[in-house]
């Protein structure tokens, strides 16, 4: 990794350029802009995501990096590791293509999380009624919070308290191995912590458990959770699922249930770069610093 910068935001994507464009638009409205955005693409056809990014990259106020791997099934863990490896940030914050960060999101994560912590966020689900009210003007106005009812915010605050309780149990050494839960669509961590545990475990293919596994390995390595549930919200858009099963029926639960012997996974960042990964970088016309 050359030319280390402060913050990289990593977004996972697969064949959904329209929603991905909205996430990038929401990142443009952050109180603290990212120093680069890295797209972890799990095999979208080039005429879809790559073409969309090519169209908008020059207008973005941050460098944009598209890190693509071939489509060989659901390989989010490997895709995120691709993006981590090719990113330059000391601090990394993670989103998915269907999660719209509220304007406070990145600043809240960056201000609260140190090299010894992992920042844990959550999502606010957009209801069917909210989806009908939603348009790009909502993002431009910084008004995502208004799409959610007082009851939804009350439930989010209750969840924040629940996560704080699990964090307290972790300090006592009696929390379940993966609690409080890390959700890979809204968390933040310093690169040094990911290096210590070797990133995501690429044995996890298909939906489920790769984020629980990362969380428990970070905790085993001594990284402590910072609860960001009600401080760094994202709104989650409705969409058809990519997977047809529940996580309990998926291929990863038996792997996850195996005894954890080390905080470092066997197949992770140390196996990169992969020869089949393609990288495209854009600077953005609004930048004042060169991006090589």
Q: Which domain holds residue 275?
A: 5-282
DSSP state string for 176-208: -TTPSPP-TTEEEEEHHHHHHHTSS-TT--SSS
Task: Select from 149, 40, 144 the least CA-distant residue to 92.
Answer: 40
Angle at 10 between CA 7 and CA 16, to 5 degrees: 145
pLDDT of residue 292: 31
pLDDT of residue 240: 61
Q: Could you list the mean pLDDT of each consecutive 10-residue stretch along the chain, which spans 292 residues?
A: 83 96 97 98 93 95 97 95 98 97 98 97 91 90 94 96 97 95 97 98 92 97 97 86 62 88 95 96 58 31
What span, in angstroms and rounded, lies between the C-alpha atoms of 50 and 17? 9
Whether 124 maps to a domain, the answer reads: yes
pLDDT of residue 288: 35
Whether 59 maps to a domain, the answer reads: yes
Whether 289 maps to a domain, the answer reads: no
Alpha carbon of residue 284 to chain centroid? 22
Whether 68 maps to a domain, the answer reads: yes
Whether 287 maps to a domain, the answer reads: no
Whether 230 maps to a domain, the answer reads: yes
Whether 290 maps to a domain, the answer reads: no
CATH number for 19: 3.90.550.10
pLDDT of residue 244: 55
Tokens of 15: 């064949």
pLDDT of residue 287: 42
Whether 35 maps to a domain, the answer reads: yes
Task: Select from 116, 101, 93 the least CA-distant residue to 226.
Answer: 116
How many domains are there within the chain? 1
pLDDT of residue 267: 95
What span, in angstroms and rounded, lies between the C-alpha atoms of 180 and 163? 6
pLDDT of residue 87: 97
pLDDT of residue 222: 97
């Amino acid at each position: 990794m050359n030319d280390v910068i402060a913050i990289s935001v990593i977004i996972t994507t697969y064949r959904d350029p329209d929603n991905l464009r909205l996430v990038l638009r929401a990142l443009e409205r952050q109180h603290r802009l990212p120093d680069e955005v890295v797209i972890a693409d799990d095999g979208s056809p080039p005429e879809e995501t790559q073409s969309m990014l090519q169209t908008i990259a020059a207008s973005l106020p941050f460098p944009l990096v598209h890190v693509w791997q071939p489509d060989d099934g659901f390989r989010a863990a490997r895709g995120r590791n691709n993006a981590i490896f090719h990113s330059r940030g000391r601090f990394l914050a993670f989103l998915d293509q269907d999660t719209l960060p509220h304007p406070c999101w990145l600043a809240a994560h960056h201000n609260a999380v140190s090299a010894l912590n992992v920042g844990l966020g959550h999502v606010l689900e957009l209801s069917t009624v909210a989806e009908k009210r939603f348009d790009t003007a909502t993002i431009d106005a910084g008004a995502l919070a208004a799409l959610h009812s007082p009851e939804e915010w009350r439930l989010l605050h209750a969840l924040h308290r629940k996560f704080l309780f699990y964090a307290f149990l972790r300090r006592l050494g009696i929390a379940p191995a993966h609690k409080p839960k890390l959700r890979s669509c809204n968390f933040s961590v310093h690169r040094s912590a990911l290096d210590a545990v070797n990133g995501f475990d690429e044995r996890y293919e298909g939906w489920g458990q790769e984020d629980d596994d990362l969380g428990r390995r970070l905790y085993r390595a001594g990284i402590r959770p910072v609860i960001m549930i009600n401080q760094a919200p994202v709104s989650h858009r409705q969409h058809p699922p990519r997977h047809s099963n529940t996580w309990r029926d998926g291929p990863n639960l038996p792997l996850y249930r195996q005894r954890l012997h080390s905080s470092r996974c066997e197949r992770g960042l140390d196996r990169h770069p992969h020869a089949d990964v393609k990288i495209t970088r854009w600077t953005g016309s609004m930048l004042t610093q060169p991006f090589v």
